[in-house]
Chain A
Amino acid sequence: MHIKEEKVERHVLAVLVDNEAGILARIAGMFTARGYNIESLTVADISADHAISRITIATNGPPHVIEQIIAQLDRLVPVHSVRDLTEAGPHVQRELALVKVSGKGENRIEAMRLADVYRARVVDATTESFVFEITGAPDKIQTFVGLMREVGLVEVGRTGVVAIGRGPDAA
């Protein structure tokens, strides 16, 4: 007997929740308990009175699983709303990364050149290292980090994706 795997698609969800203790564990735990995937998850308080947080979850699964993920999120008591940005249409996805490279000579010059092409900013420099700050869609970050590997990547920190729908209306 072999275990079959289904084809998956990537979806980005925006979830508004009460900003209360344990909310992240509740959301993340629901994903593990029901066998769903989390590609990335970001959370921050977004309201003036600090009562509401926005969680952006990049997940993947077959369409019927994505439908279940949304319904399961929505039934959690502290969850106010769940919006599937991928399903809703055009939206902007952004991620920030801090990328440290070290090296001398040609590698150092090449790192600088590539950073320029990718519009990464230098936020720290020594005679043998740079820290770049880069923002953009996840695949742009992915490509940039890949290039940096070839010219002396030391470490990288990524925020995970945040996303928002295009146009004048709120999700």
Chain B
Amino acid sequence: MIMELKVAEKSGAEILVQTLLDLGVDTVFGYPGGAVLPIYDALYDHPKIKHILVRHEQAATHAAEGYARSTGKPGVVLVTSGPGATNAVTGITDALMDSIPMVVITGQVATNLIGSDAFQEADTVGITRHCTKHNYLVKQPSDLAGVLTEAFHIATQGRPGPVVVDIPKNVQVAEAEFRSHNGKINPRYQPQIDGDFKAINEAAEMIMQAKAPILYTGGGIINSGPKASETLCQLAELLGAPVTSTLMGLGAFSASSEQWLGMLGMHGTFEANMAMNRADLVVCLGARFDDRITGRIDAFSPNSKKIHVDIDRSSVNKTIRVDLPVIGDVGRVMEQLLAVLKGRKFNAPDYEEWWARIKGWRATNCLAYPESKTEIMPQEAIRKLWEATHERDPIITTEVGQHQMWAAQHFDFEKPNKWLTSGGLGTMGYGLPAAIGAQLGDPDALVIDIAGEASIQMNIQELGTASQYRLPVKIFILNNEYMGMVRQWQELTYESRYSNSYSDSLPDFIKLAESYGWTGILIEDPSDLEAGIKKMIETDGPVLVDCRVAKLANCFPMIPSGAAHTDMLLTPEDVKGTMDDNAKALV
């Protein structure tokens, strides 16, 4: 006699928690509320999932991003309906722009109340349709395990991104048979991993003919995993060509290499931008020709052939026409390219003339900054921070603004997954929660949020989260009492009419930190800088440093909006102070 195998029924909330466990989730960033109470009750019985209670849902999303970016695992967020979901939207959009794998579970009012303007109801699926890679409204508990499994697959495969799963409260309470979906991958989303063999051969051909090639790398290499960074090093070594990177790609290639030109683009180095402009072959690896990179489109690298390796076909020819697109995982494609080049016994020329020109551009020493005995120069503060910490492979997060660009310029990264910043969306308030997420992912790491006094206030409430979970996060505020990047643009574009860019009524950051149980350190004098940084590193537990820096320092070099790579402003003396309307209209 054949027995019918009975599968036990579980509530939607229990199915959700069990599926998260099956998928290997051990950390969830969230905030409870009415529409997720059944899920929180289920979590109560599952200590294997560590729930991190943030102080604001936006911070939950950034913490999940920091966790994801530093560990390579997807970040998981759990928030309630209505305001819980809408507060998460900024971080979800940030993850979409920077291709961060993230699954956001939102509570929703019961299915019979949807559309009735119920308490804490928002059309979460509608609101997040444009800021997610994909999203779901789950209407039956029996669908939950399958949907969640697909959500994690979509978030992590191909070009990573955020996926929202909206779960009405009655679906969390109702029961259904539960079968684990572990390992069952939905066939409808299968991105191309291997590059087309013909295209790889053509790329090899183009590389073999180049006289002035450059590798332009991006965040895709970080997303592809640490192995892709190793492959990049091998490829660069074989080619002997210069390497530059976007903001998101920093760390994929060692900054101490002779072949490293520094970051390119708006606040990139003179040598990187000039080399892009004069190259005869640009090999774009996991980057997307963002407007911060290209400057004026019609003047971008005008004489080069362009190869574009990207896992997302829609990135190809979006802003810059390329000669050869190669669709695939950038790590895999680089491996294929290496194999073909080695197979053809490619012996790179020494590009003597090319390197001689690069040497000339390097001689401008574009990252030099004026020295001061009376004020702390912000660039100097970053250099000193690097000197004091780099041997410990710190994880650096940032907020958004001048301090972010100075960190990108003056903090040299040697390894991937150590640099967490909001690139595409440019979200002030990203750094502190991202640092919290990164610290949870690697409890022993030295995690430092390089911040500005304006940005840090956008998620300052997260000081409490770090205290609660005993996370020894460090915050290093470059305090110039201005929204510095706004002020810099007003100086460059609007004749120094500083409309609303002064940070008035600042808190006493030291007292504020202390009230949350942090250690606060004030650094005011250049002579105290090194000792202050040392004290920050040596102090156990979370530390906030309020480092008072030169108030009117600007971030150079800079390509003004609407200008070409060759029109960089190198020093304050290059600034005209006015701009025409066409330039003003650009962001």
Which residues of A come within 8 Å of B, CB atoms?
Answer: 1, 18, 21-22, 25-26, 29-30, 33, 64, 67-68, 71-72, 74-78, 80
Interface of A is mostly: helix
CA distance A156 to B503 in the complex (A): 60
User: Which one, A18, A21, A30, A71, contacts B188 given CB within 8 A?
Assistant: A18
Provide the B305-336 mask, 1 if CB < 8 A to any CB of A, else 0: 00000001110111001000000000000000
- A68 neighbours in B (Cβ, 8 Å): 314, 317-318
Q: How far is the CA of A25 from the CA of B321 in the complex (A)?
A: 30
A22-B125 in contact given A29-B130, A77-B188 (Cβ < 8 Å): yes
Residues of B within 8 A of A21 (CB): 137
Closest B residue to A34 using CB positions: B130
Task: Select one of A33, A64, A78 contacting B130, CB under 8 A.
Answer: A33
Task: Tell me the bound Cα distance from A154 to B312 in angstroms.
Answer: 49
Closest Cβ of chain A to B140, distance in Å, is 12
Q: How far is the CB of A24 from chain B (nearest CB, A)?
A: 11
CA distance A78 to B189 in the complex (A): 8
In the assembled complex, B582 has its CB within 8 A of some CB on chain A:
yes
The secondary structure that dominates the B interface is: loop
- Name the one of B126, B188, B318 contacting A25, with C-beta atoms under 8 angstroms: B126
The smallest C-beta distance from A83 to any residue of chain B, in angstroms, reads 15
Q: Point out the residues of chain A lying under 8 angstroms from B581, CB to CB.
A: 1
A-B contact pairs, 16 of them (CB 8 A): A1-B581, A1-B582, A18-B188, A26-B129, A29-B130, A30-B130, A64-B317, A64-B321, A67-B317, A68-B317, A72-B314, A74-B313, A74-B314, A75-B314, A77-B134, A78-B188
Q: Which of B490-508 contact A (CB under 8 A)?
A: none
Interface size on B, residues (CB 8 A): 20
Distance in angstroms between the alpha carbons of A77 and B312 in the assembled complex: 13
Question: Any chain A CB within 8 A of the CB of B564?
Answer: no
Per-position contact with A for B112-132: 1 when CB-CB < 8 Å, else 0? 000000000000011001100
B585 near A: Cβ within 8 Å?
yes
Q: Is the CB of A71 within 8 A of B129?
A: no
Residues of A near B314 (CB, < 8 A) are 68, 71-72, 74-75
Knowing A21-B137, A29-B130, the reply to whether A75 touches B313 (Cβ < 8 A) is yes
Number of A-B residue pairs, CB cutoff 8 Å, is 38
What B residues does A26 contact at CB under 8 A?
129
Q: Which B residue sits closest to A71, measured CB to CB?
A: B314
Q: Shortest distance in angstroms between A32's beta carbon and chain B's nearest beta carbon?
A: 9
Docked complex Cα distance between A18 and B582 (Å): 43
Question: In whole angstroms, how far apart are the Cα atoms of A111 and B134 in the complex?
Answer: 51
The 3 closest A-B pairs by CB, nearest first: A71-B314, A1-B581, A77-B134
* Shortest Cβ distance from residue B143 to the other chain A in the assembled complex, whole angstroms: 11
From A29, A30, A71, A76, B316 is in contact (CB under 8 Å) with A71
Residue of A nearest to B318 (CB): A68
CA distance A155 to B94 in the complex (A): 47
Q: Which residues of B contact A30 (CB under 8 A)?
A: 130
Does any Cβ of A come within 8 Å of B288's Cβ? no
A77 engages B316 (CB within 8 Å): no
A75 to B134, CA, bound (A): 10
Please state if A71 and B125 are interface contacts (CB–CB under 8 Å). no
Min Cβ gap B224→A in Å is: 18
At the interface, yes or no: B154 with Cβ under 8 Å from chain A?
Answer: yes
Q: Tell me if B154 and A77 are in contact (CB < 8 A).
A: yes
Further 17 A-B residue pairs, CB within 8 A, beyond A26-B129, A75-B312? A1-B581, A1-B582, A1-B585, A18-B188, A22-B125, A25-B129, A29-B129, A29-B130, A68-B314, A71-B313, A71-B314, A74-B314, A75-B313, A75-B314, A77-B134, A78-B188, A80-B188
